[in-house]
Every structure is written in C-alpha cells, then in structure tokens.
Structure 1
C-alpha cells in the first residue's frame, strides 16, 4: 500500500481510538478490504515495533504493512 492509498483510506474512515502506538479507525461506509476485497469493520494501525492487542471477540484479520507500521483489517465473525 502506498502513501496515497493509505491517505485516501484513512480520510474515508472514522477515527475511533489512539493510545500506546495503536490507532483504530471504524469503517462506517463499507469500504472493501485491500487484501480480501470484502468490507472490513476496523483498521488497526500498529506503529511501534511491539504492540499487544486484547481482543474481546473472534475476528478474522487481513494484514499488510506501510512504512514499518502493521495494518490490520478486522472482520467480525
């Protein structure tokens, strides 16, 4: 994913939460996941070398990277 694609994606999502090197965006407009092409629920951007995520529900994940950040696209089951 290049800079332009990520900027366009972020501008279409709703910022939700940011703390400890993890930023979450909500997909409120049913944008397609770049990996599987199905709408995703949230974009989770992990900006640090190590991050811990506590998941409260079962999720399918699609993953990519951008400039050293890990991008997780969540799909609720």
Structure 2
C-alpha cells in the first residue's frame, strides 16, 4: 500500500484502540476494502514484528502491508 493511500485510509477511519503493538480503527463510513472491494468493519494494524490477536468472533480477513506493518481488514459474518 502506498503512503498516500495509507494516510487517506487511516485519516478517514475512527480510531478505536491502541495497545501492545496493535492499533485498531472502526470503519464508520463504509470505506471499501482495498483487497476485496467490499466495505470492511475494522482495520487492525500490527506494528511489531510479532503480534498475537485473540479473536472473539468468526471473521473473514483481507490482508496487505505498509512498510513494516501488517494491515488486516475484518469482515464480520
């Protein structure tokens, strides 16, 4: 993902939580997922080399990268 696209995306989303090398944003404006084109629910940015995510629900995930970060786009069932 290019820097300009990343900045536009993160500035359009609602910050939700940041802890332990993971930052989450809520997609309150129905932006389309860059991977599948469907609106996504949350953007999870994994900033550290290793991250552990505990999922409390079944989700479809789309994935991309920006620099050294992994970006996960969640789609709830």
TM-score, normalised to structure 2, is 0.99
Segments ≥4 residues shifted beyond 6 Å:
none
Structure 1 unaligned residues grouped into runs of 5+: none
Tell me how far 1:51 sits from its aligned partner. 0.2
TM-score, normalised to structure 1, is 0.99
Q: Measure, in 2, the Cα distance between the counterparts of 1:58 and 1:68.
A: 26
| Aligned alpha-carbon RMSD (Å) | 0.3
Tell me how far 1:5 sits from its aligned partner. 0.2
Tell me how far 1:29 sits from its aligned partner. 0.4
Q: Measure, in 1, the Cα distance between the counterparts of 2:66 and 2:6.
A: 8
